[in-house]
Homo-oligomer: A and B are copies of this chain.
Amino acid sequence: MLARGLPAGPGGATGHIVFTAKDAVEWKKQGKKNILVREETNPEDVEGMRAAEGILTARGGMTSHAALVARGWGKCCIVGCSGIHISHEDKEMRIGNKIFKEGDLITLNGTKGNVYEGKLVMMDSTEENMILNEFLGICDSLRKLGVRTNAETPDDAKKARLFGAEGIGLFRTEHMFYGKGSEEPLFRLRKMIISKTEEERRKALDELFPYVKRDIKATLEAMDGLPVVIRLLDPPLHEFVPHEKEKKEELAKALSISVEEIAKRAAGLHESNPMMGHRGVRLGITYPEVTEMQVRAIFEAAAELLNDGRKPYPEIMIPVVCEVKELRNQFEIVEGVYKEVLAKYNIKEIKHMVGTMIEIPRAAFVADQLAEVSEFFSFGTNDLSQMTFGFSRDDIGSFLPDYLNKGILADDPFQTIDQAAVGELMKIAIERGRKTRKNLEVGICGEQGGDPRSVEFCHKVGMNYVSCSPFRVPIARLAAAQAVIKEKK
């Protein structure tokens, strides 16, 4: 073994080392299997990640960009492998005293987090699906927890339905701005972000609207009859600002401003700690028109499906909430748009819910107030763990391995729910929330929703469902059944 990192995406992969997303795409085109090696990945790497057999990053934790994307695809991935030292200019990587160049062969064991030199033999993981399905059917008859999936594309949604998902627990609107086919909507999102006035912003939003509606409609359709929790725009806007020269020039041209002005406006969006910055509902408060556009897209998509005889069931979820007044502010917008869409399509009702994510510690404490307006809660345990521990998910690579090795923490809190504090906050939120609203729907959409021990915890505290990436749905179904059996003992 050469090095060990965090096992972010299970399975094995072997291939030639490449150091850029572009090279990964290029090598794949030439029919050569490759492993994409990066310091860390970002949305601009998505196509290369897709083209690679496996992904290896020097930095990042179990919920870093690379880990989330790879896991969503069921792709082999190792992150936070601090033993590798990459020189992107020289296209080489150093592990200990060994130097690896572009094209050298390595093998990843994404289940254990191990990196090996050369090409190791792989085993096919095809399973006896009939037996598995029969077994999972027994699990389903036992479990009380619902199992949903985190998915953003009709393909993922369909895949997850095959795996037994009973709905989508997390549809991230922003995912249409990443990867394949994202160029057109991303360009319009960038126009919106760089806008200075409400007028400019509304114009860009109008252009963006059809893409958002199309995207949501496709997934609502794929999940017909099942609930789809659609989270409004969550990440800080500066994440989408272009870095490449041509992209900046293109944007400047479209907005009739100079490239320098683009740079200036982009710099104005810079944040010291973006994870705790201007994002989620905070964007919706400062730019109500952003919420309005998204909500309109959801309701119009649902209305059109309804008129086609389908049964769409969107659950609109407001992220990053810490105070009920944020919700009241946003719900007013939702209510207004809802009425407009009913009138426009001449329909009486669109089945839907409006709710909030519980991912900021304060939200748990004020859950009794939140439930006055919120029809459902969904625990965003990635962010909730992040704030409760003060652990930045993207930066834990530098100290979490030490914490686990020295036994200071027994588990990575981003893999398994920390019951001492994060779990307590969840209990507080459920208890207070249901005190106000007895039939409050409660779910989880953080990564831990696919972790067996966390699923057991979710069962114990009385949640309605867990949601996880499509490939983890069968595991969640099993874990939910086991939780019931354990309880009976």
Q: Which residues of A come within 8 Å of B, CB atoms?
A: 271-278, 282, 285-286, 320, 322-323, 325-326, 329, 359-362, 364-366, 383, 386-392, 394-395, 398-399, 402-403, 406-409, 418, 420-422, 424-425
Q: 10 A-B contacts, Cβ less than 8 Å apart?
A: A272-B274, A273-B395, A275-B276, A278-B399, A285-B403, A362-B388, A362-B390, A362-B418, A365-B424, A366-B421
B272 touches A394 (CB 8 A): yes
B365 touches A408 (CB 8 A): no
Q: In the complex, what residues of B have CB within 8 A of residue A389's CB?
A: 322, 360, 362
Q: Which of B365, B408, B421, B424 contacts A325 (CB 8 A)?
A: B408
A273 touches B406 (CB 8 A): no
B421 touches A362 (CB 8 A): yes
Q: In the assembled complex, how far is the CB of residue A185 from the closest CB belonging to chain B, in whole angstroms?
A: 24
Q: In the assembled complex, how far is the CB of residue A91 from the closest CB belonging to chain B, in whole angstroms?
A: 15
A422–B323 CA distance with the chains assembled, in angstroms: 13
**What residue in chain B is nearest A424 (Cβ atoms)?**
B365
- Copies in the assembly, this chain: 2
Q: In the complex, what residues of B have CB within 8 A of residue A329's CB?
A: 406, 408
A392 touches B271 (CB 8 A): yes
Q: In the complex, what residues of B have CB within 8 A of residue A365's CB?
A: 420-421, 424-425
A390 touches B320 (CB 8 A): yes
A391–B273 CA distance with the chains assembled, in angstroms: 9
B360 touches A390 (CB 8 A): yes
Please list the 4 inter-chain residue pairs (A to B) with the smallest Cβ-Cβ separation, ordered nearest first. A276-B392, A273-B392, A362-B421, A365-B421
Most chain B C-beta atoms within 10 Å of own C-beta, residue among A322, A364, A399, A406: A322
Q: In the complex, what residues of B have CB within 8 A of residue A422's CB?
A: 362
Q: In the assembled complex, how far is the CB of residue A381 from the closest CB belonging to chain B, in whole angstroms?
A: 14
B402 touches A285 (CB 8 A): yes
**What residue in chain B is nearest A65 (Cβ atoms)?**
B272
A68–B277 CA distance with the chains assembled, in angstroms: 19
Supplied contacts A325-B407, A362-B390, 10 more A-B pairs, CB within 8 Å:
A273-B394, A286-B399, A320-B390, A360-B388, A360-B389, A361-B387, A362-B418, A365-B421, A387-B387, A387-B388
B272 touches A272 (CB 8 A): no
A395 touches B274 (CB 8 A): yes
A449–B409 CA distance with the chains assembled, in angstroms: 32
Q: In the complex, what residues of B have CB within 8 A of residue A386's CB?
A: 276
**What residue in chain B is nearest A362 (Cβ atoms)?**
B421
Given known A272-B395, A286-B399, A408-B285, contact A362–B420 (CB-CB < 8 A): yes
B273 touches A408 (CB 8 A): no
Most chain B C-beta atoms within 10 Å of own C-beta, residue among A271, A361, A389: A361
Q: In the complex, what residues of B have CB within 8 A of residue A424's CB?
A: 365
**What residue in chain B is nearest A369 (Cβ atoms)?**
B420
Q: Which of B272, B323, B402 contacts A408 (CB 8 A)?
A: B323
A275 touches B277 (CB 8 A): no
A271–B392 CA distance with the chains assembled, in angstroms: 9
Q: In the complex, what residues of B have CB within 8 A of residue A406's CB?
A: 285, 329
Q: In the assembled complex, how far is the CB of residue A272 from the closest CB belonging to chain B, in whole angstroms?
A: 4
Q: In the complex, what residues of B have CB within 8 A of residue A421's CB?
A: 322, 361-362, 364-366
A282–B404 CA distance with the chains assembled, in angstroms: 12
A402–B286 CA distance with the chains assembled, in angstroms: 7
A326–B399 CA distance with the chains assembled, in angstroms: 12
B387 touches A383 (CB 8 A): no
B383 touches A390 (CB 8 A): yes
B278 touches A275 (CB 8 A): no
Q: In the assembled complex, how far is the CB of residue A470 from the closest CB belonging to chain B, in whole angstroms?
A: 27
A387–B422 CA distance with the chains assembled, in angstroms: 13
Q: In the assembled complex, how far is the CB of residue A133 from the closest CB belonging to chain B, in whole angstroms?
A: 41
